[in-house]
Chains A and B, each alone.
Chain A
Amino acid sequence: MSLGGPRMVEGPGQLHPSPDRCSSLTPDTAVISPQDPTLLIGSSLQATCSVHGDTPGATAEGLYWTLNGRRLPPELSRMLNASTMALALANLNGSRQQSGDNLVCHARDGSILAGSCLYVGLPPEKPFNISCWSRNMKDLTCRWTPGTHGETFLHTNYSLKYKLRWYGQDNTCEEYHTVGPHSCHIPKDLALFTPYEIWVEATNRLGSARSDVLTLDILDVVTTDPPPDVHVSRVGGLEDQLSVRWVSPPALKDFLFQAKYQIRYRVEDSVDWKVVDDVSNQTSCRLAGLKPGTVYFVQVRCNPFGIYGSKKAGIWSEWSHPTAASTPRSERPGPGGGACEPRGGEPSSGPVRRELKQFLGWLKKHAYCSNLSFRLYDQWRAWMQKSHKTRNQVLPDKL
């Protein structure tokens, strides 16, 4: 970018060098009408550039137009009179920049006589999908989606409003973009046990739109911090189990009587998490059915369900930082010389085994932290076979 120097104005397919470096014309040399119009996409515009008659040699002869630096075809212009050049634009596209498209009237020598900024776009659509959450009942953060098509090509201002349902005045959220471009954070002065009405107003030069009203009680949208102090340890010498312990999130620890927890874990070199649901109101759990000699990553999260008697599900916290631990290595050689679990961790085929697998899976889900596993089942089968041989053995001298 250089200041000064010969002006280059882009026309259709070529650049037109202009010899003048500095114009001797004053800012009042000409005026464009309309000034800074706002238009819908697809609409037409009739504009004029009028040269002030008291300027020596001022005439509309030779005037031309550029839009965002591109010279407009001469057939779009016509002289209305000796001092006025008209322009007709049709089917306008959305503005290229939010500060407006630059429509400029040039003298024959290329110097700038006047300019006007066009704002071409769409009115805002109704914002929707408002969701809110309160962290530890102290604040409220809300997020929304701007509208089905999003792009309005004009600067659109979004304002989150809220009020107590049955009384109080409208309030406006002030801290925007806290968790993304369409979000707002209300840091304080929120009431509990009484519903709020929340909505979003979108406004731009072409109009405004208002979302539907969301009604909520702060206690129904509470989330909290992840459980701190998550410890994962071995369970003695048990090769397929790990013990997980954690602490209730301190900010709500006096209120989490019905809190729920969830645990997820994965093998070190895997991206697939296994989730343990509904760990009710405990702060410890034993994971079973794990692979021996394997490093596991474990995370825990909390849902402050039922806080202050709320009947609605709370909002799950973020997962705690991953905690790693390894199961003891198996000392007993398996069928393939590897771990005690069947190869690949999957049972061999057979209807009995399939049904048993389903049963154990159900057991783990509904009778939580079961110690049963395929390993124990295999041990039992081995014992049964041994017992059967012993029972069926016929001593020759007994016959």
Chain B
Amino acid sequence: MSRREGSLGKGLKGRMPSARGEQGQKGWKLGSGSPPPLSRGRERPERGRTGQRCQDPQADSSASPLPHLEAKIQQTHSLARLLTKYAEQLLQEYVQHQGDPFGLPGFSPPRLPVADLSDPAPGHAGLPVPERLRLDAAALAALPPLLDVVRRLQGELNPLALRLLGRLEDAARQVRALGAAVEAVLAALGAESRGPRPEPAAAAVAAATASAGVFPAKVLGFRVCGLYLEWVSRTEADLGQLAPGGPA
């Protein structure tokens, strides 16, 4: 796993394929030496050094990059699906500790942007998939510092809510991993983000919220947990367009 992906915390087993392959003119191929010879006729090929199954040297080499890209997309899609579930649980846990009206059906404080991170635009689903994934990756990159801010605030408001604090900590790590995986998919598609991404203004958010009072701090956390859920579920849906069996 590349260092950018970081630790995934609980819930994810197995390894994600490395994203260090070379990028050809189209697609993507393994860059780690020649595969070992097949052992016997009908047996499955032995694993290569990367942990991937080695290609049958007699197979058509022009088709080789696609299975790896598909596997990468499928794994990232699975990760997004898992994190969507975790994000739902995090939001449930969060509202329990803030008290009503946070847990009441239909509770909806003003949905203001948080440090330039807002909800997916209404037209998001109509964009080309690579563009959607670029927006997803940008949002996923903006979330970890905001989740850290919420964790610090909740550490003061609910110091005994260890499970909530643990979930917030895990969420920051996990969304970082998902963002890196989406970036890897974009790179494999030749559609990576262009230009440097602005630094998130999490510190400014934290300072402003701390001085505004407890209720705004609760609302901020509610908003961030909501944005986290919206963007990971959006990412899951967008990757689903690319996954085998999806519309794309």
Contacts and interface: CB of A to CB of B under 8 A. Distances in A.
Interface in A90-120: 96-104, 111-112, 114-117
Given A8-B106, A27-B112, A111-B110, A99 B101 contact: no
A2 interface: yes
Choose among A96, A97, A116 the residue with the greatest number of B CB atoms under 10 Å from its CB: A97
Contact of B111 (A4, A6, A99): A4
A175 to B, nearest CB: 15
Interface in B99-154: 99-112
B110 A27 contact: yes
B111 A22 contact: yes
A155 interface: yes
Interface string B214-239: 11101100000010011000000000
Interface residues of B, number: 33
Given A4-B111, A155-B160, 10 more contacts: A1-B91, A1-B95, A6-B106, A22-B110, A26-B110, A26-B112, A35-B213, A36-B213, A102-B99, A116-B214
A387 interface: no
A25 B109 CA distance: 10
Interface in B44-80: none
A103 to B, nearest CB: 8
B97 A4 contact: no
A159 interface: no
Contact of A116 (B92, B97, B103, B215): B215
Contacts, number: 100
- Chain A interface main SS type: loop
Contacts of A70: 100
A281 interface: no
Interface residues of A, number: 38
Nearest to A119: B214
A10 interface: yes
A21 interface: yes
B107 A117 contact: no
Contacts of A66: 101
A268 B139 CA distance: 65
Nearest to A20: B108
